[in-house]
Amino acid sequence: MRQCMDVEAVVARLKKIEGQIRGIMNMVQNDVPCEDILVQIGAAKSALHKTGQVILEGHLHHCVLDGIASGDSGKTIKKLVRALEQFSRLT
């Protein structure tokens, strides 16, 4: 699966999100106004969604194309449908 995505780019995105979550926890502990916390939660959610999009794009460009090229289109399409279902749950 590692060939399906740019692992370093995905890890960098996840580390940034981790920092955002730590910042949100800090905000909660320091009695920051709810509206400000919700803005940051929205930003973290958007960042997670974009990370999912990057992973899905890698899956399409590598795993799906390779699966179809190797003649295993049925199994490849089933995996693609599962990936799309998982991605659609992110919203």
Of the ranges 6-10, 38-42, 82-86, 87-91, which one carries the lowest mean pLDDT score?
Answer: 87-91
User: Per the structure block, which two tokens stand in for 49?
Assistant: 């969604």
**Could you give the angle at the alpha carbon of 85 between the alpha carbons of 84 and 86, nearest 5°?**
90
CATH topology of domain 2-88: Methane Monooxygenase Hydroxylase; Chain G, domain 1 (1.20.58)
For the chain, the structural domain boundaries read 2-88
pTM: 0.83
Are 36 and 28 within 8 A, CB to CB?
no
Nearest one of 48, 47, 53 to 83, comparing CA atoms? 53
What does the pLDDT look like over 10-50, one tens digit per residue?
999 999 999 999 999 999 999 999 999 999 999 999 999 99
Dist CA 12 CA 84 (whole Å) = 23
Instruction: Give the pLDDT score at 90.
Output: 82
